Amino acid sequence: MELEFDRETMNFYETAAEVTLCQEETLESIVPDACPDILRIVDVCGQAVLTGKQARDGAAMVSGMVKAAILYQPEEGSGLRRMEVGLPFTCQAEAPGFTGDGTVFASPRLRRAEARALNPRKVLLRVDLAVDVAAYQPSKCTLCRGVQEREGAGLCQRQFHGETCLISAVQEKPFTFQEQVRLPSSPGEVPRIMALWAQPMCTESKLVGSKMIFKGTVDLHMLLQEGDGGLTSSHESLTFSQVMEVSGENEEGDCQVDVELTDLTWETDLADGGSLNVDLELLAQAGVRCRRPVTLLQDLYSTAYEMEADSELQTLWKLGEQSVRPQAVRELLETGELVRSVIDSRLTLGQVTQSREGNTLLLSAEAWITVLYLDENGLVQCAHRTVPVTCRLDCPEDYRCTCVCRCPGEVFAVPAAGGAEVRFTLEFHCLTLGRTQVPSVREARLGGPRTRGEGPCPSVVLRLAAPGEGIWELAKAYGTTTQQILQANELSEDALPEGRMLLIPRMR
């Protein structure tokens, strides 16, 4: 005889993949006819932009483009020249259980870019990329909350009351905005833009009903060449504010928004040569994580009938620590020569790795630092160094951690003995989740009447609880109820007194 259950269906998103893919790409390029021959390459300024994503069965596909500006000293003439190169890339993340109905989030980063002249008219560009990829698969699970009472069946049920933390929505929104930037210049002189790149970042997000409001900044970094050939750098912070529709019940959820650059174009204002018109195409990728109450039917028996029950393990997630951990860094970048002045300094970030020491996680990120400077002879030089940055996080062994590393401010560099002293701050954005599995009844069937075996059977049993045995287990074994055992032994709670013989009434 089948029983009727009270069931609840929960819709959510499973994380099919969450990885960082690292790869190298190379490209040979011919120097355009309008550009002079190369004497030496000084620096490569680049930006990785996201151009496409695709969900496939078992895999998440990402495509992008590296836009690089190669700065070089020509064989003839003074001052630096620039050469633009575009290098497309694709990558694939394996995602078991992922289908075309899923959603792919991606964040490509250019860890480093280098170029060398194969001859005065040919350049080999090499880039090192890191692409954060997350694949989210829509899913649902049906929970058995309890059983509907049948008259005369004597059903006893044991329920678990708790909560689980789930990704309730993933959403994305492309948007564009234009901004006019005033170029720093001396009277009558308009600097030439040698390189320009942008770093978008969401700084605030909140849910209001079915809408997500998010705000952020785009840090614009420019390398400029003055009329006399000298180089300077300039920074601008552009602000944006957007509203995104979010499906599902998310009013009490926490939202996390990542904003990616999909294209960047700029041109000098013809009417005002001292201004720059910047067009940005951006993609906001948002996820909402909610705490939801959960009631599970853990066990079930009948005092009147035999019963067969099928059980399964339900996975529940507990939200642990959500924190931002800043790490201040101060390092000497050795150049082996006198640094007269620093023109520009910047950094890019690679993969965040994790290692465990008991209940402590050691988070590590590599910062690739670049300093552009004038040497003692007045020549523009470039120096690089990789600096490891670590952060310690208390995290129990049954918890997992998702960590994103960001550099929220500028990178400062000043001349110092032996090179340039570099100072910056990295932020480790950490989220931990704990996983538990709770037994749950899936189906149950009533059989024939419950029998007591052959011969006379006592109406009360006197016995000592075995190790690990509780009142529920005793009541189920003898076909009685927990309330009757509590009353017979004058107990007010389910905790059993250690070493005490218990009276267990049996159902007649």
**Domain harbouring 475, CATH code:** 3.10.350.10
> Structurally, how many domains does the chain consist of?
2
Is 392 inside a domain boundary? yes
Beta carbons within 10 angstroms of residue 127's beta carbon: 23
418 and 356 share one domain = yes
Of 364, 380, 372, the closest CA to residue 346 belongs to 372
What pLDDT score was predicted for residue 186?
Answer: 63
Local structure of residue 411 (DSSP, 8 states): P
Domain of 32?
10-137+167-289+319-435
Which helix (H) or strand (E) element contains residue 333? Answer: strand 305-334
Six token digits for residue 224: 């400029």
What pLDDT score was predicted for residue 463?
Answer: 84
Are the C-beta atoms of 104 and 135 separated by less than 8 Å?
yes
**pLDDT beneath 50: ranges in the chain:** none
427 and 324 share one domain = yes
Which are the contacts of 336, defined by CB distance < 8 A and separation ≥ 6?
A: 418, 419
387 and 268 share one domain = yes
376 and 466 share one domain = no
What pTM value is reported for the model?
Answer: 0.90
407 and 458 share one domain = no
Choose the final residue of a domain: 405, 435, 465: 435
363 and 490 share one domain = no
What distance in Å separates the CA atoms of residue 124 and residue 210, rounded to the nearest whole number? 50
Is 440 inside a domain boundary? no
Are the C-beta atoms of 433 and 165 separated by less than 8 Å?
yes
Six token digits for residue 280: 């940005």
Its sign, for the CA torsion 278, 179, 257, 209, is negative
411 and 474 share one domain = no
Report CA-CA distances (Å) from 464 to 461, 469, 492, 493: 10, 10, 18, 17
What pLDDT score was predicted for residue 28?
Answer: 97
Is 405 inside a domain boundary? yes
What distance in Å separates the CA atoms of residue 483 and residue 494, rounded to the nearest whole number? 9
175 and 52 share one domain = yes
424 and 482 share one domain = no
61 and 101 share one domain = yes
What pLDDT score was predicted for residue 331?
Answer: 95
Is 96 inside a domain boundary? yes
Is 146 inside a domain boundary? no
Is 446 inside a domain boundary? no
Is 174 inside a domain boundary? yes
Are the C-beta atoms of 174 and 52 separated by less than 8 Å?
no
Beta carbons within 10 angstroms of residue 76's beta carbon: 7
What pLDDT score was predicted for residue 66?
Answer: 97
Classify residue 135 as exposed, middle or buried by CB count within 10 Å of its CB (0-12, 13-18, 19+).
buried
282 and 384 share one domain = yes
110 and 231 share one domain = yes
DSSP per-residue string spanning 172-239: EEEEEEEEEEEPP--TT--PEEEEEEEEEEEEEEEEETTEEEEEEEEEEEEEEE-TTS-EEEEEEEEE
What pLDDT score was predicted for residue 251?
Answer: 60
Is 312 inside a domain boundary? no
